[in-house]
Amino acid sequence: MENNRDYTRRSRRRRELTPREKLLIILKRNIYPIALVVIIIFSIVVILPAEKSREAKKEVTASITENKNNTAQKETETTTNKNTKVYKTIKPKTRTTEKIVADLKERSKHDEKYKKIYDRIDEYPKGMLNAVLNNPEMQDFLIGYPDNQYTLKYLKTQSDESEETTLTETETVQETTQDSNEKIDLSDIKLTEKERKSAHPLFIQWDERWAYIPYGDENIGMAGCGPTCMSMVIVGLTHNSEATPAEVARYSEENGYYVNGQGTSWLLMSQVAKSYGITVNQMAVSQIEMENALDNGNMLICSVGAGDFTTQGHFIVIYGYTDEGFLVNDPYCKVRSTKKWSFGRIKNQIKTIWRYSY
């Protein structure tokens, strides 16, 4: 009997579950919680990233499509609500007379403003027509040019001069221009409150407030980039609302800083600033020095040659910088004044720089 009991106990011990059997039992009892955990892990590791990837692809595809649409719109330069081409500002280029006529004729077929200009093409100087082809922002300036009082007075003066024989051409133009400017009441030209308070106001030389006022053998709209830049600096630093582009242009003429056939003398950039109590110094064309000057609250004026801003000589204002480039106020173009300009892009176009502080 004792032997049978021992055998039974040994048999029971032999039938004890193995670890594998125990594991299987545990798995069977917990199959649902384990399955749930596996599903959650699978969702996190596989499904969600795949879904995010699909969404990202959709966004990229949408972005590419949008960019293609924008590119196509820019290439065709056509508005969505009218069958009218909108011509964008381009890098300035010089055209022959034949090319100017051909381009204006083509644009006049699709643009009402260009048509108005083309219909009176013989009443404009060649340089003005070339300019409006480079910069459509100037369309209204050209449309108003033939009938403006200053234009009509200038044309009459030119007609009278053709009958004069006692004066040289240069003497006649200078004396007549100065005489006509003395009769112009510049007190009617007002800056806006925003312009007066701005630390770096943007003034456009072909702004109708002063565009047609004679400046040397031209008008401020075409040749007044120097006085307009100086006006931006003076108003920005001193907030003197009387220092309009027209007022600075008058100062330039009265003091002999406009050279007929060439434009504004560099001397204006220093002399007129001093008359408003502004300290001015010329500086090297150096990115580090330019950024340091701007960090100290200075404003800069650059004389630039042919390139992104002009086909000839030009002045621009630099009032700040970001990681993307310098912040520029171009008195000739609003679009270029919204862009960031890297030092590498503009350094070879800059002839000299003036630094201004107050």
Judge whether residue 73 has pLDDT over 70.
Answer: no
pLDDT of residue 71: 41
Ramachandran region, residue 112 (left: φ > 0; alpha: ψ -120 to 50; beta: rest): alpha
CB atoms within 10 A of CB 186: 14
Q: Give the predicted TM-score (pTM) of the model.
A: 0.72
| Angle in degrees, CA 294, 296, 300, rounded to 5 | 35
8 A C-beta contact, residue 291 and residue 270: no
Judge whether residue 259 has pLDDT over 50.
Answer: yes
| Percentage of residues of the chain with pLDDT beyond 90 | 62
Q: What is the mean pLDDT of residues 327-343?
A: 98
Q: For 101-112, how does the pLDDT look when each residue is reduced to its tens digit (9 = 90+)?
A: 999 999 999 999
CB atoms within 10 A of CB 271: 16
pLDDT of residue 65: 43
Judge whether residue 57 has pLDDT over 60.
Answer: no
What would the 3-class secondary structure string for the chain be? Answer: CHHHHHHHHHHHHHCCCCHHHHHHHHHHHCHHHHHHHHHHHHHHHHHHHHHHHHHHHHHHHHHHHHHHHHHHHHHHCECCCCCCECCCCCCCCCCCHHHHHHHHHHHHCCCHHHHHHHHCHHHCCHHHHHHHHHCHHHHHHHHHCCCCHHHHHHHHHHHHHCCCCCCCHHHHHHHHHHHHHHCCCHHHCCCCHHHHHCCCCCCCCCCCCCCCCEECCEEHHHHCHHHHHHHHHHHHHHCCCCCCHHHHHHHHHHCCCEECCCEECCHHHHHHHHHCCCEEEEECCCHHHHHHHHHCCCEEEEEECCCCCCCCCEEEEEEEEECCEEEEECCCCCCHHHCEECHHHHCCCEEEEEEEEC
Residue 334 CA, distance from chain mean position: 6
Judge whether residue 214 has pLDDT over 60.
Answer: yes
What pLDDT band is residue 332 in, cutting at 50, 70 and 90?
very high
Structure tokens at 349: 């176009």
Structure tokens at 237: 């630093």
Q: How far apart are CA 78 and CA 251, in angstroms?
A: 44
Quick one: which of 246, 252, 250, 251 has its CA closest to 212? 246
Q: What is the mean pLDDT of residues 229-250?
A: 98
Among 133-137, 148-152, 247-251, 267-271, the minimum mean pLDDT is found in 148-152
Torsion angle (degrees, nearest 10) of CA 282, 288, 290, 291: -150
Judge whether residue 177 has pLDDT over 50.
Answer: no
Please report the domains of the chain, with CATH numbers, ordered by start residue. Answer: 2-62 (no CATH), 80-147 (no CATH), 149-357 (3.90.70.10)
Torsion angle (degrees, nearest 10) of CA 138, 142, 145, 146: 180
Comparing 115 with 2, the larger pLDDT belongs to 115
Comparing 180 with 307, the larger pLDDT belongs to 307
pLDDT of residue 17: 73
